[in-house]
A and B are shown apart, each in its own frame.
Chain A
Amino acid sequence: MTDLNSESRFIPDTLVKPWRTAVFSWPTLLFVVAVVLFIVNSFASPYFLSPWSLSDATFNFTEKALIALAMALLIISGEIDLSVASIIALASTMMGLALQFGVGTPGLVLIGIVTGIICGIFNGFLVTKLGLPSIVVTIGTMSFFRGISFIVLGDQAFKGYPPSFSFFGQGYIWWVVSFEFVLFLLCAFAYYLLLHRTNFGRHVFAIGNNPVAARFSGIRVERVKFILFCLTGLMSGVAAVLLTSRLASTRPSIALGWELDAVTMVVLGGVSILGGAGTIQGVVIAAFIMGLVTFGLGLLNIPGIVMSIFIGALLIFVIALPIVFRKVKERRA
């Protein structure tokens, strides 16, 4: 997908004012969309503007958003991981298995997270050590990981998680503020620092823009990518702990189709699917937008499958709009 239209480059004679770049940036645009959605929602349903229903609204996107944070870094570096939802299934299954052997809550959490990391290492090994395209590798591991869940569980389910385990997916830190939500905000901040304030983050951007140039500048391209796959595995493991705790059961079909939701969040958040550009702020706001859309439509009794039309249309629309604007502008100029 190379750009073949060699356009003559416009060189401005003055600097673009910082406030202008801030106002017209992608996160700002998304933020406006989010605010509009919030206002529309609060007019559309009388039940929307209550602290408890807003708190409930956070549950249906925080787990996906946790994965989207790590996925954003991976996509910026030019790779992708489609196996995240299957990692959740496998991690959840492993937790369920451990439960049968009488492992307690701390052990369950540890097993969930470690399973996630191992899956990430497996993906990272195939992509970076064997030099295979990540989209294909993770389509394979996507079947493979969930396939193991199906082998272990068949048409059964693991149930009977201990009461203390339910805190992670159902507990509240303070009043209506859930543990999941606080964890998401903390992780979002941590990923913001990692991507935008550290050398590692600069390396991720450099690799996404030009892996060859990045290598010549002394960046260990393979190692950075390997770490990113591990991080994505880790976040999937964390999401598995939260989701399993929230549902209090494990089925092999758990989190089916979430990989596409996570990728949608990332792309909607302004991360270039071709790599090299994107912000964590954008991804976080995109996560809120998806949460607002699904929750708002849910309050209006619109079935989930119809919501997916909105999400899909939103994705294409938000990506297409700036391009159409630019084309119209070019034609006028």
Chain B
Amino acid sequence: MKKILRTREFWLAVVVAVMVFATNIRAPGFATPARLADIFDDSSILIILALGQMVVILSRSIDLSMASNLALSGMIVALVNQAFPAVPVPALMLLAALCGLALGGFNGFFVWRLGIPAIVVTLGTLTIYRGVIFLIAGGQWVNADAFSPGFVAFTRIDFLGLPLLSWYAIVIVAAFYLIMTRTFLGRSFYAIGVNPTAAVYAGINVGKTTFWAFCISGMLSGFAGYLWVSRYVIGSVEVAKGYELTIVAACVIGGISISGGVGTVAGAVLGALFLGVINGALPVINISPFWQMAISGAAIILAVVLNGRSGKQSARLILKEAEHTR
């Protein structure tokens, strides 16, 4: 019990809960299960993306191309759906994930084989992937009437009271919990993030593990590409523009250390939910949506300050000498 009280995730959960109830006081009806389910559904895509980014950040890299990857994979499945409406939707989902995997693998290859810093590679692919969308779509949009009914329905169908979109997020969160805590690969991400040299001696291939991190973030981006296009019923160059930093923000709020090795699945999920609750709460308490950006910015700064504080205290006891030299 004491252990739980000391975790960052617990306090973040408390903050999210307090936010929900505070909003409920101003706008009664906000904390009803149906509304909360809506907010979860709205946050689902961000949750999935934050998990992908988490794996990359854990292994001391960063993937700035996730939003462009999402938009490109989404555009590809949108175009396929437009041209061949008969292709079954699960096949399209697989296609989106595979596209994302290929794009993520491209990033990972450069980081692994050529040793170019991840921020440089993904900064480049961020613009390349988005430019490619324009090329393959010829500058056109894929509008709502171009999609087959099934394409749109596969995020909306109600299953046990929740839309399928929410279920995808739940399944991926569960899978990630198992991967990150119970598998060799999952533990490797932490190992190379905490201490790459020690990881080598423990028999972990640092480069290859980083490569897998990019593959995972890419695959989730691609899958989220289908979800995004299906959910908002639009495929365009502008899809998710600037979203890459929102994803990083969700991770940072969730307590995932940008210097690698620290962070949990619960943190990433709560970080995404934190932003989701803010987005859901602002309209109902009559704050102009224009406030949203400044508030989430302030939340990120506050989260970093608080995380920085708590991290320092625990580090001081172990690394007393290193602390002086910092």
Contacts and interface: CB of A to CB of B under 8 A. Distances in A.
Interface of A: 1-4, 82, 126, 130-133, 135-137, 139-148, 150-151, 153-155, 212, 215-216, 252, 256-257, 260, 263-264, 267, 273-274, 303, 305-309, 311-313, 315-316, 319-320, 323-324, 327
A1 B296 CA distance: 30
Contact of A320 (B110, B132, B312): B110
Given A4-B206, A139-B252, A320-B116, A315 B124 contact: yes
B140 interface: no
Contacts of B174: none
Interface of B: 60-62, 64, 110, 114-121, 123-128, 130-135, 139, 196-197, 200, 206, 237, 242, 245, 248-249, 252, 258-259, 288, 290-298, 300-301, 303-305, 308, 312, 325-326
A252 B242 CA distance: 15
Contacts of B245: 82, 139, 142-143
Given A311-B127, A312-B127, 13 more contacts: A1-B118, A126-B301, A126-B305, A131-B308, A131-B312, A147-B294, A150-B290, A212-B325, A260-B64, A260-B123, A273-B117, A307-B131, A309-B135
A140 B294 contact: no
Contacts of A319: 116, 120
A252 B115 CA distance: 38
Nearest to B65: A312
Nearest to B210: A1
A308 B200 contact: no
B116 A143 contact: no
A320 B61 CA distance: 17
Contacts of B64: 260
Contact of A323 (B115, B259, B308): B115
Contact of B292 (A147, A264, A309, A316): A147
B130 A143 contact: no
A202 B47 CA distance: 44
A305 B128 CA distance: 9
Helix, strand, loop or mixed for chain B's interface?
A: helix
A252 B197 CA distance: 46
Given A143-B249, A150-B294, A316-B110, A1 B60 contact: yes
Contacts of A145: 297
A306 B135 CA distance: 7
Contacts of A306: 131, 134-135
Given A140-B301, A154-B288, A273 B249 contact: no
B324 to A, nearest CB: 10
A133 B60 CA distance: 13
Contact of B293 (A2, A150, A313, A315): A150
A197 to B, nearest CB: 28
A323 B116 contact: yes
A323 B115 CA distance: 8
A151 B258 contact: no
Contact of A144 (B119, B139, B200, B301): B301
Contacts of A315: 120, 123-124
Contacts of A309: 127-128, 131-132, 135
Given A1-B60, A308-B127, A323-B115, A136 B293 contact: no
Contacts of B259: 133
Nearest to A313: B128
A258 to B, nearest CB: 12
A140 B251 CA distance: 12
B113 to A, nearest CB: 9
B297 A312 contact: no
B310 to A, nearest CB: 12
Contacts of B293: 143-144, 146-147, 150
Contact of B131 (A264, A273, A305): A305
Contacts of A131: 308, 312, 326
A117 B206 CA distance: 41
Nearest to A314: B124
Given A132-B305, A303-B139, A323-B114, A316 B298 contact: no
A141 B301 CA distance: 7
A132 B300 CA distance: 12
Contact of B130 (A130, A132, A308): A308
Contacts of A273: 117, 119-120
10 contacts: A126-B304, A136-B248, A136-B304, A140-B300, A141-B297, A144-B301, A146-B294, A260-B126, A308-B128, A312-B131
Contacts of A137: 301, 304
Contacts of A311: 127
Contacts of A312: 123-128, 131
B123 A267 contact: yes
B128 A130 contact: no
A4 B197 contact: yes
Given A133-B259, A139-B252, A151 B291 contact: yes
A316 B242 contact: no
Contacts of B308: 130-132
Contacts of B325: 212, 215-216
A212 B326 CA distance: 7
Given A139-B252, A256-B242, A1 B117 contact: yes
A70 B273 CA distance: 36
A99 B297 CA distance: 27
Given A130-B308, A139-B245, A4 B128 contact: no
Contacts of A324: 114
A146 B48 CA distance: 26
B297 A316 contact: no
A275 to B, nearest CB: 11
